[in-house]
């Protein structure tokens, strides 16, 4: 007898989406990503199997076989979002190869006909023709498809992250569960990484019990800058000799969050792939004179505190882990998606 469900995670990275689906109770058969560096973390933390492959090169018959392991086949994924992100700094990304990946996702939907489709991405993707084409593909193939624009704190994610979640089903309307939190009880930075969740460390230090809990070294000038920074403040709090030339220009006066500290009792800013870098945003620790650690950023993305990202300490590199974490689907958001699918399947009396 088949399992109740079988999911395939396209563009799986280190497994944020997979881990959330599995936590909700949905078995994931295979995660696919072209980045071989993701394999250890994906395999070490999830029950699914990692396959290194470009989604554009995937054989549809193989994907159909993976989906056929369950009565309900779920094709899920988050195509790389850099072309669509409002953090793209105005770069003209119209010629990037990434644009075609959502097309490839749509092609696999048409060729494999999974019962359910999940697509998560930055909210700005809705303004792009490739998004309309993807939705039209779903509707043309007979799916009941809709989207939700998600404010991540609404679902207990301690981070100001805005995403779009597309859910499509052959059974009927599939809606994302309603919010579990409101502004009055949003989870905070303190809830996530304060109150002893991780030990205090200094800039340049590595926690002896958790090699991922490490903070980048700060040059003397940046160390003085963060010492003069207050939570939620800006570079205007610094002595004038510490200010950057760009801050003195009219065009730089609006960039108040650069070199900023987080606040304990609010949500964190969006975790980017550069969250470990004090100068890349409001990534200064609320209290300690350092940027947040690799582990703290992962926790703010709702990865479990013991999630493994590298087999050996020597394999932990800021740029690599930053990419893993910043590009991931928040685990809790994926869990909410999984819970929504389970409720939907039960409502339609689908059994193995």
Distance in angstroms (rounded) separating the CA atoms of residues 283 and 269 = 8
Burial label, 1 (beta-carbon count in 10 A; 0-12, 13-18, 19+): exposed
DSSP summary character for residue 233: -
Interatomic CA distance for residues 186 and 218, integer angstroms: 31
Distance of CA 43 to the CA centre of its chain: 18
Contacts of 55 (CB under 8 A, 6+ apart): 10, 11, 32, 34, 77, 79, 101, 104, 105, 108
CA 35, distance to chain mean position in Å, is: 16
Sign of the CA dihedral 297, 301, 303, 309?
A: negative
Helix ranges (DSSP H) in the chain? 16-24, 39-45, 60-67, 99-112, 129-140, 189-193, 220-227, 245-248, 294-300, 318-326, 331-347
Measuring CA to CA, which residue among 267, 21, 275 is closest to residue 153?
267
Could you tell me the CA-to-CA distances from 324 to 77, 165, 248 in Å, in that order?
A: 15, 20, 34
Instruction: For the chain, give the number of residues.
Output: 352
Q: What single DSSP character describes residue 38?
A: G
- Residue listed under structure tokens 């493994």: 308
Q: Is 280 exposed, middle or buried (0-12, 13-18, 19+ CB in 10 A)?
A: middle
Residues designated catalytic: 81
- Residue 250: both structure tokens together: 């009219």
């Amino acid at each position: 007898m088949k399992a109740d469900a079988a999911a395939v995670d396209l563009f799986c990275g280190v497994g944020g989406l997979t881990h959330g689906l599995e936590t909700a109770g949905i078995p994931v058969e295979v995660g696919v990503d072209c980045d071989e560096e993701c394999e250890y973390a994906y395999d070490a933390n999830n029950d699914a199997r990692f396959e290194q492959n470009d989604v554009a090169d995937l054989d549809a018959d193989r994907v159909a076989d993976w989906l056929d392991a369950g009565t309900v086949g779920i094709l899920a994924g988050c195509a790389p979002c850099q072309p669509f992100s409002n953090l793209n700094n105005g770069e003209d990304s119209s010629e990037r190869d990434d644009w075609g990946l959502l097309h490839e996702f749509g092609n696999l939907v048409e060729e494999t006909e999974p019962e359910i489709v999940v697509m998560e991405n930055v909210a700005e993707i809705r303004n792009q023709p490739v998004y309309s084409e993807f939705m039209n593909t779903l509707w043309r193939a007979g799916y009941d498809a809709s989207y939700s624009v998600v404010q991540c704190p609404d679902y207990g994610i301690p981070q100001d992250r805005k995403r779009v979640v597309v859910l499509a089903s052959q059974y009927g309307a599939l809606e994302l569960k309603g919010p579990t939190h409101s502004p009055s009880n949003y989870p905070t930075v303190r809830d996530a990484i304060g109150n002893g969740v991780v030990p205090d460390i200094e800039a340049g230090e590595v926690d002896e019990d958790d090699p991922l809990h490490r903070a980048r070294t700060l040059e003397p000038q940046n160390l003085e800058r963060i010492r003069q920074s207050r939570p939620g403040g800006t570079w205007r709090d610094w002595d004038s000799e510490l200010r950057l030339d760009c801050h003195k220009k009219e065009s730089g006066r609006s960039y108040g969050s650069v070199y900023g500290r987080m606040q304990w009792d609010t949500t964190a800013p969006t975790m980017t792939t550069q969250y470990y870098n004090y100068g890349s945003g409001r990534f200064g620790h609320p209290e300690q004179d350092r940027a947040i650690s690799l582990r703290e950023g992962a926790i703010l993305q709702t990865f479990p505190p013991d999630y493994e990202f590298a087999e050996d300490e020597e394999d932990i590199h800021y740029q690599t882990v930053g990419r893993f974490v910043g590009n991931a689907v928040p685990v809790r958001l994926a869990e909410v998606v999984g819970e929504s699918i389970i409720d939907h399947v039960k409502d339609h009396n689908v059994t193995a």
